[in-house]
Amino acid sequence: MNFDPSLCSSRSHKLQTNLFYLYKSQVFISFQYEGAVKEGGRGQTIWDKFAHTPGKISDGSTADVAVNQYHLYNEDIKLMKNMGMDAYRFSISWSRIFPRIEPYVTLYHWDLPQALDDKYQGWLSSQIVNDFAAYAETCFREFGDRVKHWMTFNEPHTFAIQGYDLGFEAPGRCSLLGHLYCKEGNSATEPYIVGHNVLLAHGTATDIYRKTYKKKQNGIVGIAFDTFWYEPTTNYTADIEAALRAMDFNLGWFVDPLMFGDYPSSMRSRVGSRLPKFSEAESTLLKGSLDFLGINHYTTWYASNSSVESILNDSIADIGVLTLPFKDGIPIGDRANSIWLYIVPQGMRSLLNYVKTKYGNPLVIITENGMDDANSPFTSISDALKDEKRIKYHNDYLTNVLAAIKEDGCNVKGYFAWSLLDNWEWAAGFSSRFGLYYVDYNDKLRRYAKDSVHWFQKFLAPN
């Protein structure tokens, strides 16, 4: 790729000047970073069990050590401070409960205690609502004097689909191809049950915070939602409606109930009786229970209407949309390492304007944005540190955030880069590197600054 990183540096002053009030931030997620799975009284999670199941992780690795931030956190905090970061989004591990960098805490990032999954199937039972609320209140009570920004969940759409529809992530439930892939599950109903219980758990936890802790602690509560942006494949009405429907089943599935008190009408009509209903009291509990909307956005795909009956009876088939990252054989953008991640910076601006228009311009924080390289044994460390593609990615996506704010009036107040360190990437294991810092898995997990670190240092420098 013929790319001169100085081009980004020359534009970084304009970006920095206009985005100075955004939180300049990094993200880490406990299970992907911490390791130390048997230390500090930590209990087993569904991801411990899933990662140790043969064939579930692409490179056969586990997160038992991950990148050892449990022991190396002081060193990593220094890395953030040296970059000029002023906020750090991280998750607390549910199974572990019982410096001047602002903490943004996620209460649940997929690592459900295995004991609850064994006891009543976790998110498939309404009992999880009260158990999560008790866990959340413990965190509010113990850490609320220091934490002013809470996220109840990270990417509920992802773990509902990947964990309970397709079975590719923990706890690995599905009815895909007649249970040839998963041992148990029902892809037609379970994703919706999980999503429903997640929403009620969020609403209950937020209600507890507002009634008991907000006045004294003065914090705010949101959720981090994963969402693609979808461009219609053609200008035909059917494809335009398909792109909007894809957004309904992705972002609207969880945001509509929190803004309007119910699921999108397209979900109600297409899923029918398999989509749980909210009581009047539950609808009231949910509506308005969001102080800010966290957006995890990486990529854009095309969407077209699909009237072909799927052999799968699941939430993917319910959408009636064919989504692909290419049209007429031409990719929508340059691809990163992950097979799903195509680089389409203008999709960020389109997404932010969609949120502004549909949801009344709520407070938005970009809670994840980034791209990955392959972890190849044939790439030397010195070559891996030359990540010009990542520099261009962040520069171009931030440029579109700036345009959404300055030109379109979108209410965006924060940006978190994924990720500070290369880490254990769920089902991809250690095969994918999203970090600004390179982690040497063969040499005591030593950290090395990639070129993107130096670009961010210049971008974030006060002068």
Could you write out the three-class secondary structure of the chain?
A: CCCCHHHHHHHHHHHHHHCCCCEEEEEECHHHHCCCCCCCCCCCEHHHHHHCCCCCCCCCCCCCCCCCHHHHHHHHHHHHHHHCCCEEEEECCHHHCCCCCEEEEEEECCCCEHHHHHHHCHHHCCHHHHHHHHHHHHHHHHHCCCCCEEEEEECHHHHHHHHHCCCCCCCCCCCCCCCCCCCCCCCCCHHHHHHHHHHHHHHHHHHHHHHHHHHHHCCEEEEEEECCEEEECCCCHHHHHHHHHHHHHHHHHHHHHHHHCCCCHHHHHHHHHHCCCCCHHHHHHHCCCCCEEEEECCCEEEEEECCCCCCCCCHHHHHCEEEECEECCEECCEECCCCCCEECCHHHHHHHHHHHHHHCCCCEEEEECCCCEECCCCCCHHHHCCCHHHHHHHHHHHHHHHHHHHCCCCCEEEEEECCCECCCCHHHCCCEECCCEEEECCCCCEEEECHHHHHHHHHHCCC
Q: Which amino acid is at 434?
A: F
- Active-site option among 155, 169, 190, 388: 155
b/e map 313-322, b = 16+ CB within 10 Å: ebbbbbbbbb
In the annotation, is 368 catalytic? Answer: yes
Which of 169, 282, 368, 425 is labelled catalytic? 368
Active site includes 190? Answer: no
| Burial class (CB within 10 angstroms; exposed 0-12, middle 13-18, buried 19+) of 463 | exposed
Q: Do 139 and 92 meet the contact criterion of CB atoms below 8 Å apart? A: yes
Active site positions, annotated: 155, 368
